[in-house]
Structure formats: C-alpha cells, structure tokens
Chains A and B, each alone.
Chain A
Amino acid sequence: MSVNTPANREVFETLAAVFARLPHCKTLGFEYVGLDGVKPTLKVEWRPDLVGNPATGVVHGGVITSLVDTTSAIAVSARLAELETIATLDLRIDYLKAATPGRAIFCTAECYRLAGQVGFTRAVCYHDDANDPIAHGVATFMRESTPLPIWRDGGTK
C-alpha cells in the first residue's frame, strides 16, 4: 500500500501546528520544515543550551528523543481521517553517530502502519542527508488516548 497525500489535509495541518508548537517544542526551538507526501520534517538549530556533553558540544540525546517523538506524532497525523488525540506508547532510538556541534538537526518521520488503535512510525535524524543518519527511531502511538481534544487551544497555552 502506498499513500502519498495526507488522509485529511485539514486534520494534518491542525495537528501538525499543535505538535510543533507545544511548549516543550518551543523550549527546544523546533521548526516545522514541510511535508513530503506523508513524511513530515522538523528541524532544530544547534544551541549552546541544548548540549549534553560540554567537552564536545554535542547536543543531548534528549533533544533527539523529543525531535523523533514530535515528528513521528505529526507523521501519524498525516494518516488520520479525523481529528483525534494521540499519545506515544513507546519509543526506541538508535544513536548511529554523534551529531556535529554547531549544525542544525533534521528529522523526517513516516507512519508506515495505522491500525485501529495503534499507529506505527519510523524516523531518521540527520544533518543534510537522510541517507547518512545520526539517529534512527521507531515508535508506537495510541489512538484516541483521551477524549480531550489536544487541538482545542492550539497547543499555544
């Protein structure tokens, strides 16, 4: 099966805006870059306060985890026919190589299977080539994790 457009563009745009602008994502400086088919890309610029190892200047793995989690949630949104709240069930990150200090990190994710209750995603983080990744992440998301609509206040509170 191959789908190359969001199941519902309005749903996607609403949820993508919410996820990319959550307070924690603003704290880390995430930026929504765009959507290629059903694969969204986010970006985070290198900043001194995101560093995990001051001896090397390499960004903390926690930033990568948040980037994978957020981009993957947006990838699930691209497959949803209607608005619903989703929540991460589990996540695994493989750190393939250290990120280069001073350079922006991109993350591209894909929801490769949307089942009735669970969405399955994979993601890669990289500097400029998705084929030369820094990290690889797989995650699952519970659908309709709460009846409370996450999009109601636009996630901007």
Chain B
Amino acid sequence: MSAFMERLLELRDQKRYRDIIDAIPYARLMGVEFAEDETGGLLFSLPFDAKNVGNTVLPALHGGLIGGFLENAALIHLMWNRESLETPKIVDFSLDYLRSGRARTLYARCTITKQGKRVAHVLIEAWQDEPSRPVAVARAHFLLQTAA
C-alpha cells in the first residue's frame, strides 16, 4: 500500500503515460516510452540512445539494458492491469537473448500468463523490425502481496 501506487493508478486512469515513466527514475534515465495501441494492449518502446550501448563496434544495445527494459515493462504492465495498491515485487527474472539489439528503437509487449492470489507470471517479448523476429524473450515472477 503506498501513495505511489495511488498516484500511479490515477495516472493510468488519465492515460498519462509520460508521467508514469517520469515517476520511475530508472525508466526515465533509460528513455522508456509506452502507450496503449489500437487493440488496447500496452506497447513499450525504447528509442535508440548512444548511452544505452553495450557493444560499440556493432553497435548493439547492452544486454543488461534490454533486461532492465523488459523487467520494467513487465512491472508497469502488471500494475496497469491490476487494481491493487500493493507494488508487485519481482522474485525472479529469466531472459533469453535471440538477436543483438541494433541502433534503433526496441519494442516490447507483455502477457500475464497467470495471476494468482500471491504470484503473477508475466511473459515479455522484445523486437525491433517485426515481432516475428524477437531480440529477446523473458519471463518474470512477481509477488503480489506483502507477507502477513
């Protein structure tokens, strides 16, 4: 339960995407953006920025940054789709790198595979040119409530 979550749900209801990113310092630093698409699902994007590079020769995005972008997407996606005032807490995160992330915008979409009383399972996929050519796929478990 927190004032932060109250504020976040308020921003959600007003669809103030930018303000939600601004409320999460790390997401703002990376340059994350998101919005609802025409289907009502959340589409996350990370416009290319030289400060996010992890291979200067290719050049390619840093693998850790891709992980952070996906983890952050999963967290926002989960908060967006719940009414709870508890901040979901990440338990574990697993990430497979399929292609290098090139010097252009990276996109991500999440699916809540299961939402139980205590734990949620979220799948995340990231791509650049087309969703059928993923740059990375990930999954995360979140705790949904503070232990009694």
Contact = CB atoms under 8 A, between A and B. Distances in A.
Q: Do A and B bind each other?
A: yes
Interface of A: 22-27, 48-55, 59-63, 65-70, 85, 87-95, 98, 146, 148-150, 152-153, 155-157
Chain B interface residue bracket vs A: 35 or more
Nearest to B2: A55
Interface of B: 2-5, 23-30, 50-59, 61-65, 67-69, 71-72, 75, 87, 89-97, 100
Nearest to B24: A52
Nearest to A90: B96
Nearest to B139: A92
A109 to B, nearest CB: 13
B33 to A, nearest CB: 15
A120 to B, nearest CB: 15
Contact of B92 (A49, A88, A94, A153): A94
Contact of A88 (B5, B52, B63, B71): B63
B95 A90 contact: yes
